[in-house]
Amino acid sequence: MTAKPKWFQTTAIDYPNSRPHIGTAFEKLGADVQARYRRMEGYDVCFLMGNDENTLKVADKAKELGLDPQAYCDDMARQFREVWDALDISYDVFIQTSSERHKQCCRKFAQKVYDNGYIYKGSYEGWYCPGCEEFKSDKVHAENAGQCPNHKRPLVRRSEPCYYFKLSAFKDRLLKELKENPQFVQPESRRNEMIGFIEAEGLDDLNISRHGEQWGIPLPFDPEFTIYVWFDALLTYITGIGYGDDEATFAKNWPCDTHFIGKDITRFHTHIWPAMLWAAGLDAPTKVFSHGFVTVDGTKMGKSMGNVVQPLDIIAKSSVDAYRYFFMRECPFPGDGDYSGQRFEEVYNTELANNLGNLLSRTITIPAKNYGGVFDGTAGVTPDAVVPNLNLAEFVATVRGHVEACRYNTALQAIVQDFLTPTNQYLEANAPWKLVKTDKEAAKKVLFNAVQSLRVTAILLKPFIPKSAEAIYTSFNFPTPWADVRYADAAELTAQPDDLRVTAELIDGKPKPLFPRIG
């Protein structure tokens, strides 16, 4: 027996200022489809997610609510997980950066980089607002005529000591990695941006410390300073799998096979993060995938816009799988997408209710009525292909390629248009509901073939809509247990040892609609 290949993937960790919206969920969903697909394909998957808590905003928010920061963080973590669980996000590790374990490992990492000579003390000079007690960027300074936009008082030039990470030392190595390894940053457009950036601007050393903060992780070599948030946030990807305290688990999983992130933080993950890892003597991640953003009714979502949509609100009106299907089918994962209630209804009714759900209903009801749900004499019979001019093995290979490249919408489009719709056409062309009156055996064979199409469909849809795919699959007595099916099983039509039977629960001879129409 050979060991399973490992697959380690992460999503970005989130600021727990407010509950997750559909944009945050988009990332988790895309990552989840990949994780589920990899598990199906026999990988030993570790899927890591978490919350990024060591930020001032979090401490402020807790204060505002009169809560201890830790209590606040723990409660938000609970709320986040509630949403992820409702969306069937199959994470294996959920890490909070305020956890003691993370902090300890974080300090170990910082010490290591310091010992390796990639952190040095310097000073940071910039425009400071005494009212805000923080530095403002040159941009803010320029745009507000040298005044603080909050306090309307002049910003003052100020210099304070800090610690720098020697990012510049990795410029050539990074450029080489970016250019020679196309998989390192996906999609391609983001990779080009990252290469272009270094070529145009070079790489400057980065201030990684803050001074005089209470909430945060102190630098091990100088406790006067805390580690600036993103430096510790990125480290969850390794502390979550045991860096610094469980080397066996860490060694097994690292390097990361895919970091799923939003396109806005691509630079952190493709410039700073690999450099940090190299500075500590570790490998860079294999792939960083930058997904697009979700808009609502064509406009950017935001608190100030008052158009924030939460996943649970959509699920309440439909179902988890409807939610998952919509975003994976309608929004190209590498690019941006839009959510609107109208479009949601359209996609749901057309593809899930009418096409898929109805197909299941009709292929259950006719056999149930005419054959008592048992396809006598089909044991050992190889099904006929239902879709003309389709090489099933090639088709499945195509879908697999789309899934592996995170082109989820294209994968689903292929499944619906090239497989599901033709199955409905096949039924129409052969009309088993008529044929059954003249040639019961022939009608049975037609239905048998159609049901086998549903088997293929259920397998292909498993990573996308796990519950519904299982409901379809277990509506019949297919021999391979659901937990064991792989895409390879969808690639061929084979005989089964027992007569095919309808195993779905029937009420008055009919199954419960899988996706009841909405609207």
| Interaction site with RNA (CB under 7 A) | 12, 14-15, 21, 23-24, 26-27, 137, 167, 189, 192-193, 196-197, 200-204, 206-207, 228-230, 261-265, 267, 293-294, 300-301, 332, 335, 346, 349-350, 353-358, 360-362, 365-366, 369, 417, 421, 424-425, 427-428, 433-434, 510, 513-517
Q: How far is the CB of 286 from RNA (least distance, A)?
A: 20
Q: How far is the CB of 428 from RNA (least distance, A)?
A: 4
Q: How far is the CB of 66 from RNA (least distance, A)?
A: 25
Q: Which is nearer to RNA, 197 or 221 (CB)?
A: 197
Q: Residue count of the chain, please give it.
A: 519
Q: Which is nearer to RNA, 137 or 391 (CB)?
A: 137
Tokens of 234: 């990125």
d(CA 234, CA 250): 15
Q: Which is nearer to RNA, 98 or 242 (CB)?
A: 98
Q: How far is the CB of 41 from RNA (least distance, A)?
A: 26
The 3 state secondary structure assigned to 34-55 is HHHHHHHCCCEEEEEEEECCCC
Q: How far is the CB of 372 from RNA (least distance, A)?
A: 15
Q: Which is nearer to RNA, 327 or 487 (CB)?
A: 327
Q: How far is the CB of 251 from RNA (least distance, A)?
A: 27
Q: Which is nearer to RNA, 260 or 487 (CB)?
A: 260
Q: Which residues of 332-345 are buried (b: 16+ CB within 10 A; e: fewer)?
A: bbbeebebeeeebb
Q: How far is the CB of 491 from RNA (least distance, A)?
A: 23
DSSP summary character for residue 99: S
d(CA 123, CA 130): 18
Q: How far is the CB of 1 from RNA (least distance, A)?
A: 39
Tokens of 260: 């799923």
Tokens of 90: 């199959």
d(CA 308, CA 301): 6
Whether the Cβ atoms of residue 482 and residue 417 lie closer than 8 Å to each other: no
Q: Which is nearer to RNA, 178 or 301 (CB)?
A: 301
- Concatenating the DSSP letter of every residue in 74-86 gives HHHHHHHHHHHHH
Q: Which is nearer to RNA, 6 or 362 (CB)?
A: 362
- Concatenating the DSSP letter of every residue in 245-291 gives T-HHHHHHHPSPSEEEEEGGGHHIIIIIHHHHHHHTT-PPPS-EEEE
Q: How far is the CB of 17 from RNA (least distance, A)?
A: 9
Tokens of 115: 């010992």
Q: How far is the CB of 477 from RNA (least distance, A)?
A: 20
d(CA 135, CA 50): 28
Q: Which is nearer to RNA, 258 or 361 (CB)?
A: 361
Q: Which residues of 441-468 are buried (b: 16+ CB within 10 A; e: fewer)?
A: eebbbbbbbbbbbbbbbbbbbbbbbbeb
d(CA 448, CA 464): 25
CB atoms within 10 A of CB 158: 13
My answer on whether omega of the bond before 497 falls inside 30° of 0, hence cis, is: no
Q: Which is nearer to RNA, 227 or 485 (CB)?
A: 227
Q: Which is nearer to RNA, 474 or 480 (CB)?
A: 474
Q: How far is the CB of 341 from RNA (least distance, A)?
A: 14
Q: Which is nearer to RNA, 38 or 271 (CB)?
A: 271
d(CA 111, CA 105): 10
